Copies of this chain bind each other. A is one copy, B any other.
Amino acid sequence: MEENVFHHVLPIQLRFNDVDKFGHVNNTVYFSFYDLGKTEYFASVCRRVDWNRTGIVVVHIEADFIEQIFASDHIAVRTAVCEIGTKSFQLLQQVIDTKSGRVKCVCRSVMVTFDLERHETIPLPEEWVADICEYEGRDLRKKKR
């Protein structure tokens, strides 16, 4: 996955209070950047999904914090779906410095699709899978063996 090409990049506007008393962006705030990248990704890629009926729920998230981010840095979140199963899919994200291109943080998360009315997990809608694979330029469906 290291050679992953990210098609989706969202510049992030830092806020004054993102920075904690150590003078760098607080670790907990990174996850709201990833949240924003994820939201924009699905809003732009999966246009045929009715977001009032279908939600995305994070079940697992893991992040490696590589370098600090300071108030004056210009950063962006890169987002890619990297694997699609029947009931869940994986997202790979990075926070990068847009000037240097350096990777500040890497995040992997596992998500499930959720029926917001019946409050239960559902298989990924087919049109959703198709849209994502087309956007990413490859078949992301997990191979059955």
Contact = CB atoms under 8 A, between A and B. Distances in A.
Interface of A: 12-13, 15-17, 19-23, 26-29, 31-32, 34-36, 39, 55, 57-65, 71, 116
B16 A55 contact: no
Nearest to A24: B21
Contact of A17 (B32, B55, B58, B61): B32
A28 B20 CA distance: 14
A12 B29 CA distance: 17
Copies of this chain, tallied across the complex: 4
Contacts of A20: 16-17, 19-21
A93 to B, nearest CB: 13
Interface centre among A22, A29, A31 (most CB of B within 10 A): A31
A26 B15 CA distance: 12
A3 to B, nearest CB: 22
Given A21-B23, A21-B71, A36 B58 contact: no
A16 B71 CA distance: 17
Which 4 residue pairs spanning A and B have beta carbons closest together?
A: A62-B62, A13-B13, A28-B31, A28-B32
A19 B21 contact: yes
Contact of A58 (B13, B27, B116): B27
